[in-house]
Amino acid sequence: MNRFENNAHARAFTRRRFVQSAAIAAGAALMLSGRLSAADAKPGRVIERKSKATITPFGLNHGETLRFRCRNDRVWEMTLLKTSAEIAERDKKNADRISVYAFDCDVRINGKEHHIRREIGSQTSFYEPEEIDGVRLWFDAASCAFKEDGGFMLEKDWTQGLVCQPMHKGRFVIHEADLPICPEPILPWYPNDAKKIDIKDCYDGKDCWMGPYQGASAHCGLDINMKAGTILSAPISFDDHYLFHSTAAGFNNNRWRGVRKWEDGSEWWLQSHHLIKMTIPERKPLKAGTPYATTAGVHIGSHEHSHFNFRVIEQGGDFLIDPWILFWESFRQAKGA
């Protein structure tokens, strides 16, 4: 995905990353390798969010708190205390390459402390959210895993504006546990009778969301191997859809975007890349379940595959998050959960 489609936007992105790096350096005395102890986490800003029909992504720094008001007016409160990251496994043939890495956080939710750990690059990349006091919590990313914040991961596509590293110490997604992630069913994006994703099918077996591409760089998207000519269908209804890169326009890939503006003010961008051709006209509303393209046949490298991205724009924030959340909901609904 290319969030910035002209040089001016790319320059603005570079300036933002410079500011972020400077802020990290300025706080180095307190943030050795991007990590704070729970005792060092000073009370910080409090952000307020209300439960709505779609998921709510957000970022927190150490000591900052989210107050989430549920539909029954109950307040669910979470404070980020600490984050850390480590290399969990190196390539057996090349010890300089990372195979699996992990990040952790300590949070205080409604007065009780919880420890959450995620692994990236293994089958556990396709994880279940935590369910705590009636709210589902997805721990999407920790900044300290990245070199700009004292860690070890590079950004694979930062020159294109593709940013896996969160702008806060931790990036999370929440929604009330008795709600789906959006107010309409998530239909199959591609044929998947197994209703699961195997890490072995993520390009070379590591290119899940933020997976260690070539053993060093966070992969900004979810690659899924499939035969060239596989049909993609709209998983939700879209207000608009279009190719934002195409080989016809001189790019090396056909990259598609569907845009949905929800009544609660949230805007979703779903993307699929490596398309062969569109099967319906662009720039028109697209109904859920409608086949829109054939895929897995352009600029594919060594494996026929499609690349998926998920972006949420809302409440002053712009969040690239794990597309697995979409597939998790689709599989769950297909199984009748």
| pTM of structure | 0.88
Q: CA-based Rg of the chain, rounded to a whole angstrom? A: 20
Question: Which residue is associated with the tokens 């929604």?
Answer: 175
Q: How far apart are CA 269 and CA 285, in angstroms?
A: 14
**Strand, helix or coil at 40?**
helix
Residues 240, 223, 186, 123, Cα dihedral to 10°:
-160
**Strand, helix or coil at 169?**
coil
Ordered DSSP codes for 244-282: EE-GGGT-SS-EEEEEEE-TTS-EEEEEEESEEEESS-S
Domains (ranges, CATH) in the chain? 7-176 (no CATH), 199-334 (2.70.70.10)
Q: How far apart are CA 151 and CA 40, in angstroms?
A: 19
Per-residue pLDDT tens listing for the chain (337 residues)? 333 333 333 434 443 443 344 333 333 333 333 334 444 456 799 999 999 999 999 999 999 999 999 999 999 999 999 999 999 999 988 999 999 999 999 999 999 999 999 999 999 999 999 999 999 999 999 999 999 999 999 999 877 777 899 999 999 999 999 999 999 999 999 999 999 999 999 999 999 999 999 999 999 999 999 999 999 999 999 999 999 999 999 999 999 999 999 999 999 999 999 999 999 999 999 999 999 999 999 999 999 999 999 999 999 999 999 999 999 999 999 998 7
